[in-house]
Structure 1
Amino acid sequence: MIEDFPFYLSLIVAIILLIMLANKIKVAYPVLLVIAGLLISFIPGIPTIKIDPELIFIIFLPPLLYEAAWAISWKELWKWRRIIGSFAFVVVFLTAITVAFVANHFIPGFSLALGFLLGGIVSPPDAVSASAILKFVKVPKRMSSILEGESLLNDASSLIIFRFAMVAVATGQFIWQDAVLSFSWMLVGGIGIGLLLGYVFMKSQKILPTDANMDTILTIVAPYVMYIAAEEVHSSGVLAVVSGGLLLSNNRFSFLGTSSRLRGVNVWESLAFVLNGLVFVLIGLDLPEITSGIEGVSLSSAIGYGLLITVVLIVVRILSAYGAVIVTLVARNFISVADTRSPGFKAPIMMGWTGMRGVVSLAAALSIPTHLYAGGPAFPQRNLVLFITFVVILTTLVVQGLTLPYLIKKLNLPSFNDYLSDEDADNEIKRGIARHTLNHIKENHNILFERSHFLQQIHEKWQGKIDEDGDIQLSPEVREAYLDILNAQRMWLIEQNHNNTDLNEDVIRKHLMKIDLEEERVRLVH
């Protein structure tokens, strides 16, 4: 391991250079990293990479899910909860069932249980790939929100299917009542453990005398604790991390100080950057191990099976997207839905084409044991399942990943006008903050305002008479008053995010970041 350290170090440098190249040529970096990993694996003398699935599930998955939970908008998640839930659970289950029947019919030696196992492995799309591609093209906010929300939950549903299928393959039977109870515990237990531990972390950081460094470390530890605790009691570690992450994210202003929030953002962006880069390169680097295990079937036949399953996944997802539209159009006559307007035929095509598969699928396939039980017969078709999974990942990443930007541009999706434009929202927020600030100063700091030149300047600034307040030496009293004003602005923004449905949360978060930066600047003024 030590002798390979220079290789891994150079791999990280290569990842940075490749992502720079991907941004330059406007190609989603997961596509470039997987291809680069493939090419590197053919270089003579390169250390053989063997991916330990536990490395993915324990080291990589919890922080990446946690970071996504912090980044997503709860407002959007709740608004589109029905469509997100249907894609994350119903569509994943339908995909697994369809793959099971197709594999059983077309692939020799595949039972329905084994097909269901393969379906559980390849059913969850990879959100990192879609998000990386969407950076280069403009899509309606609702589309990106649905994709982000789906990605938070579909790993959980697919891994639950995977567990049940593993039991069915190993025992040769499937007991529905046991499966329903186990499924219910995975959902309820996972969410409950995540919320409980999230609450414990939140209260601990609020009560204990932590600083920015300690808070940042605790945010890194939190997802691992949630995941491991849930898995130890056989519930869903994915749902534990997601639910705990959402709880902490939506309460970040109540238990994290300004310095902790600012430093945490920087640390998590860097951490997620490195982890995402590594997992996609590792997919490509693992090719020699995957191909070496194929026995009893020709390479061309194995590739054909992989392409067949890929086509099934794409078709099922597109049909499911249209099905979701039809169900929504019917359901709007009976219940309130997020939007009563028809999205037309273009949006489902785009949603259907964003089903790139990624590292969770590969890790699940690699976690299949070599034997059904200790000392027992070999696990049936393990190597073929692993190879098909690799073909699906590679094909969807390269084909869909490279063509998605072109498809989105050709579709010319409608804007839907869910929110004010960023410019209009920016102006409305600035006017609202100005009014709220002036009222807050008059109501809470009127006496101090009369004798503080700085507060008078702040007052004039929000009236639009001056642009910059400059670096001014503040007395302790004025400094505390200004910090109170900034906190009042922050609370107003949070309230607007909850109550004003015309404002995009991304714009509000940008203004919250500005307030945090201003507060940090003021605290550093001596």
Structure 2
Amino acid sequence: MPVAAVAVAGLSRRSGLSAPLVLVIAGLLFSFVPGMPEFELDPEFVLYVFLPPLLFSAAWQSSYYDLRENVRPIALLSIGLVLFTTFAVGYAAYLLVPGLPLAAAFVLGAIVAPPDAVAAVSVAQRLGLPRRTVTILVGESLFNDATALTAFRVAVAAAAGAGFTLLDGTGRFLFAAVAGAAIGLVLGPPLHWLRTRLNDPLVENGVAVLAPFAAYLIAEALHASGVIAVVVSGLYLGHRFTESAAVTRLIGHSFWKVVIFVLESVVFLIIGLQLPAVLDGVSGHGWASLAWYALVIFVVTVAARFVWVFPAAYLPRLFSARIRDREAWNGWQGPVVVSWAGMRGVVSLAAAFAIPILTSSREPFPGRDLILFLTFTTVLATLLVQGMTFPALIRLLGIGSAREEYTDRVAEAGAQHAAAQAALERLEELVAAEPGPIDETVAERLRQLAEYRQLRAWERLGGGTGPEGEEVPTNTYRRLRQEMLAAERQVFIRLRDERRLGDEVLNRVLHDLDLEEAALDRD
């Protein structure tokens, strides 16, 4: 399955299509292939193997400062909207499905409440949504699972006859959130201390790989939120990642990109492959009724997000001048984009499969198969309907981040200029402090490198061309140097093929060439 997932994801990326959507469709098609075995989702496998690294990587790459500046809208979505959706969908299901107990209906509401922002964020970043919008979507996806899973457990306990009350549920949620955050904060500093003292890039990144699993397992063992523990530890370690060595950062960045690509590909393929298992459970229901239930739950799930997002966006600005002054405003288009970015994912399916088969009185869990079916149809509908139309909606609304990109380039150019100036001053201090004379060609080469970085940052503001459209000097340097590196690489490979150079030496020199080419390619 991982091979098929990576192959499909690779083809979709080459075609410029959204990989998550193509993978879901591919999973659906694979499920109809004769002889294809059924892949019934193992909730423990998803929650303990897939979820920690996906959350940790997203937190690692997130900006702590951006998340902190947007804590109010993120909290309104990841806590307020999840609970609102739980109640809205729960009551709708209770009124819609004859004989479905209210507690079991709230189980469905909690399951479909948390969006999975992977697909939405990938599209948003590719199409250049404003940074604040992307930050809010990422922040929501980091924390909403904790709210939803806690609500899910409370609703399941109530439906199974364990006697939970609303007060019990509130206390359980607060404990899980606070304890999870505390565990993440306790784990972060010692793991960072360990990483910075190992002086071995592979072992340092090995610690980072184990960190999300350790945080999740410890938190869950203490009945805290494993999701929040992973996110908090990931934010801490990611914020301090600048203190690691350069090679450690290079290896870590590449490693996480590959791992997350594979995990996300497998996850979205698994969603489509669940169709046979889901349909088997509802074979005794009428298809017309099932289609009607699925449509209503999907519409309520989408509508609940709109009903919550617009007041949450407008009312704080209406009543607080401080919020109006501090927070950028994209007009009504911003809330529309956030409202439509509500695709559900594998966490919802994992929660549905985790519903116990029997209650505490050894009776079948009420409506379990129907809840699983409605979860699957809601996940599928949001991914296909919202996911396929999301890029078109962004283009139609004309909401983008061109101004932010220009501001970023100006800020980068100014920072590169200041950094290069500091480097030049430090170089002159070192040259003056040397006990003996330094070869002037060495000092001049270092000066030229610092000046190249200065020029490259400023020339990027013009798109890499001069006033008459001619190629700027740093672009010429980059193009010619890339050709030189290619020629060097061919010689090393030819010498290896002629057995005049060992593979170990080849790998070492190619690594150096690759690092230089990667630095040249950065735009």
**Pair 1:403–1:336, CA change in 2 (3 A):** closer
Q: Could you tell me which amino acid in structure 2 is paired with residue 141 of structure 1? A: R
The separation in 1 between residues aligned to 2:369 and 2:67, in whole angstroms, is: 38
What amino acid sits opposite 1:351 in the alignment? V
For residues 342 and 133 of structure 1, the distance between their equivalents in structure 2, rounded to whole angstroms, comes to 21
Partner letter of residue 85 of structure 1?
A
User: How far is 1:438 from its partner?
Assistant: 2.3
- Equivalent residue for 2:142, pick from 145, 152, 164: 152
Rounded to whole Å, the distance in 2 between the matches of 1:166 and 1:132 is: 33
Task: State the AA in 2 paired with 1:322.
Answer: F
How many Å separate the matches in 2 of 1:74 and 1:418? 19
Query: Match for 2:230 among 241, 248, 252?
Result: 241
Aligned partners of 1:325 and 1:342 also within 8 Å:
no
- Cα deviation 1:143-175 (Å, max 9, x = unaligned): 111111111111111111111111111227442
Given candidates 290, 312, 326, the residue that maps to 1:324 is 312
- Show the 5 A alignment for 1:33-52: 33-52=23-42
2:169 to 153, 161, 179: 179
Does 1:212 find its partner at 2:198? no
> Is the CA contact 1:194–1:226 (under 8 Å) kept in the aligned structure 2?
yes
- Give runs of aligned pairs for residues 173-322 of structure 1, distance below 5 A: 173-207=163-197, 209-254=198-243, 256-294=244-282, 296-322=284-310
Q: d(CA) in 2 for partners of 1:432 and 1:81?
A: 32
CA distance in 2, matches of 1:47, 1:222: 34
Unaligned runs of 5+ in 1: 1-10, 472-513, 522-526
Aligned partners of 1:92 and 1:321: how far apart in 2? 11
Q: Alpha carbon RMSD of aligned pairs, Å?
A: 2.7
Query: 1:332, 1:407 → 2: CA distance?
Result: 30
TM superposition score normalised by structure 1: 0.82
Change (3 A) 1:414 1:225: closer
Q: Which amino acid aligns with 1:311?
A: V
Does residue 447 in structure 1 map to residue 433 in structure 2?
A: yes
Please give the secondary structure, in 2, of the residue aligned with 1:171. coil
SS in 2 for 1:22: helix
> What's the CA shift for 1:296?
4.7
1:96-115 to structure 2, matched below 5 A, reads 96-115=86-105
Q: Is the 8 A contact 1:67 1:272 kept in 2?
A: yes
Provide the C-alpha distance between the structure 2 equivalents of 1:307 and 1:339, rounded to a whole number of angstroms. Answer: 40
Q: 1:359 aligns with which of 339, 346, 352?
A: 346
What is the CA distance between 1:417 and its match in structure 2? 4.3
Who is 2:501 aligned against? Answer: none
Q: State the identity %.
A: 35
Render the CA deviation track for 1:53-83: whole Å, top value 9, x for unaligned: 0000011000000110111122221121111
Q: Is the 8 Å Cα contact of residues 325 and 343 (structure 1) preserved in structure 2?
A: no
CA distance in 1, matches of 2:145, 2:366: 24
Shift of 1:35: 0.8
Which residue is 1:431 aligned to? 417
Q: CA separation of 1:290/1:338 partners in 2, compared to 1, >3 Å: closer, same or farther?
A: farther
In structure 2, distance between residues paired with 1:382 and 1:93: 21
Q: CA deviation at 1:336?
A: 4.5
CA deviations on 1:72-103 (whole Å, 9 max, x unpaired) are 12222112111111111111111111111111
Q: Shift of the alpha carbon at 1:462?
A: 2.9
CA distance in 1, matches of 2:392, 2:329: 23
Alignment of 1:419-498 (within 5 A): 420-443=406-429, 446-448=432-434, 451-453=438-440, 454-463=442-451
Letter in 1 for 2:229: A
Aligned length: 464
2: distance between equivalents of 1:418 and 1:459? Answer: 31
Q: Pick closer, same or farther for the CA change 1:416–1:13 going to 2, 3 Å.
A: closer
Structure-2 residue corresponding to 1:17? 7
- 1:218 Cα deviation after fit: 1.4
Gaps of 5+ in 2: 456-472, 482-511
**Quick check: 2:431–2:438 contact (8 Å CA) kept in 1?**
no
In 2, the alpha carbon distance for the partners of 1:146 and 1:441 equals 43
Give the SS at the match of 2:160: helix
**What letter corresponds to residue 37 of structure 1 in structure 2?**
G
Kindly provide the CA deviation profile for residues 415-442 of structure 1, in whole angstroms up to 9, marking residues without a partner as x.
4945644443342232222222223334
Q: In 2, Cα distance between the equivalents of 1:340 and 1:216? A: 36
1:388 alignment partner in structure 2: 374
> Is the Cα contact below 8 Å between 2:282 and 2:370 reproduced in 1?
yes
Paired residues of 1:295 and 1:383 also in contact (CA < 8 A)? no
Q: Please tell me the residue identity of whatever aligns with 1:299.
A: W
CA distance in 1, matches of 2:402, 2:73: 16
Paired residue for 1:480? none
Asked whether the 8 Å contact 1:29–1:132 carries over to 2, the reply is no
| Gap change, CA 1:450 and 1:319, over 3 Å in 2 | farther
Give distance in 2, aligned partners of 1:457 and 1:410. Answer: 50
Which deviates the most, 378-387 or 458-467?
458-467
